[in-house]
Amino acid sequence: MIKREWEKKLEPLTVRILTAVRITGLSRSRIYELIQLGDLETAKVGRATLIQYQSLKKLTQS
């Protein structure tokens, strides 16, 4: 599938826990700790916990 140039620049709004683990290299339990501390913004959709991509990005840039 060929992606258009503007599609390559799009960032997701949210990511699942396992995706956050892959992106950051942090453990799953550490991701949950950061959620509990309020360092990562989340949203629940059904049973899934979604992490706001921008808060994940802020965490990795600091």
Starting from the edge strand earliest in sequence, which strands make up the sheet with 14-16, in order? 14-16, 48-52, 42-45
Q: 50 to each of 2, 5, 40, 53, 55, how far by Cα in Å?
A: 28, 26, 10, 9, 11
Q: What is the pTM of this model?
A: 0.80
Q: In this predicted model, what pLDDT tens digit does every residue of 17-41 receive, in sequence order?
A: 999 999 999 999 999 999 999 999 9
Question: 28-37 and 17-24 are packed helices; what angle lies between their axes, rounded to 10 degrees?
Answer: 110
Provide the CATH topology of domain 5-61: Arc Repressor Mutant, subunit A (1.10.10)
9 pLDDT tier (thresholds 50, 70, 90) = confident
C-alpha to C-alpha distance for 21 and 23, rounded to whole angstroms: 6
Distance of CA 26 to the CA centre of its chain: 12
